[in-house]
Chain A
Amino acid sequence: EIVLTQSPGTLSLSPGERAILSCRASQSVGGNFLAWYQEIPGQAPRLLIYGASQRATGIPDRFSGSGSGTDFTLTISRLEPEDFTVYYCQYYATSPRTFGQGTKVEIK
C-alpha cells in the first residue's frame, strides 16, 4: 500500500501569493496516477488535477500540478479568497487508492 505524505500541514499566505503544496509517495507512482482534490466548505470536494499535471474540466489555470516518481507538487499561482481551504493528493494507479492527510491553506 502506497502512503502519501503531504507537506506542509498548514500554509499561511496572503491573497495574491503563490502556494506550493507537496505530496510525497512511499513508493514510485507508476504512470503518474496522482490526483489533487480541493475541499469546498458545505459541498463535496472537487477534482483539480489528475495524471499529476492535467487540469480537470473547469479548473482555473492558476492551479497546476507537476512531479513524477515519488514527489508531486500542486501550485496555485495567485491565491484567490476561495482558495483558502484544504487540499488532498490521491494515488489512484491501483487499489487501495489512498489519500494524503491534507494541507490546509489559510489566510495569513
Chain B
Amino acid sequence: QVQLQQWGAGLLKPSETLSLTCVDYGGSIRGYHWNWIRQSPGKGLEWIGEITHSGGTNYNPSLKSRVTISIDTSQNQLSLKMSSVTAADTAIYYCTRGYESDWPTSNYWGQGTLVTVSS
C-alpha cells in the first residue's frame, strides 16, 4: 500500500533554499516516476518537475534554473531543492507518483507541505 509522507522546512526567508523530502512507507521509491507539484494560495496546480522511473529528470522551464529533484536509494527518499526562493514560491508542495512504474500521472499524493517565504 502506497503511503507517501513528506516533510521539510515550512518557513524560509527570501534567497534561502527550499528543501523537501518524500518517502513511501509502503514500498520502494526506486523504479517509479515521481513528480513534484505545487499550489500557491488561491492559485492552480503547477508542475515543478519529475524524476522518471529510469532516473532522468525534467523540470518546468520557468523553474529549471533553481530546481533539483533527486532520489537517495539508500535512504529510500525523494527530494526537492529549490534555490533563491522568493515570496512567489509560497505554496503547498506535493510529491506524487503514478500507479505503475512508468506512469507520469499523479495517482498517489503526499499530504502536502506548506512552505511560506517571508522576511
Which chain A residues have a beta carbon within 8 Å of chain B's beta carbons?
1, 35, 37, 44-47, 50, 56-57, 86, 88, 90, 92, 95-102
Contact = CB atoms under 8 A, between A and B. Distances in A.
Given A92-B104, A98-B47, A100-B44, 17 more contacts: A35-B105, A44-B94, A44-B109, A45-B39, A45-B94, A46-B109, A50-B107, A56-B99, A56-B107, A57-B99, A57-B107, A90-B106, A92-B105, A96-B47, A96-B59, A99-B46, A102-B45
A47 B50 contact: no
9 contacts: A35-B105, A44-B109, A44-B112, A56-B107, A95-B59, A96-B47, A97-B47, A97-B50, A100-B44
Contacts of A45: 39, 45, 94, 106, 109
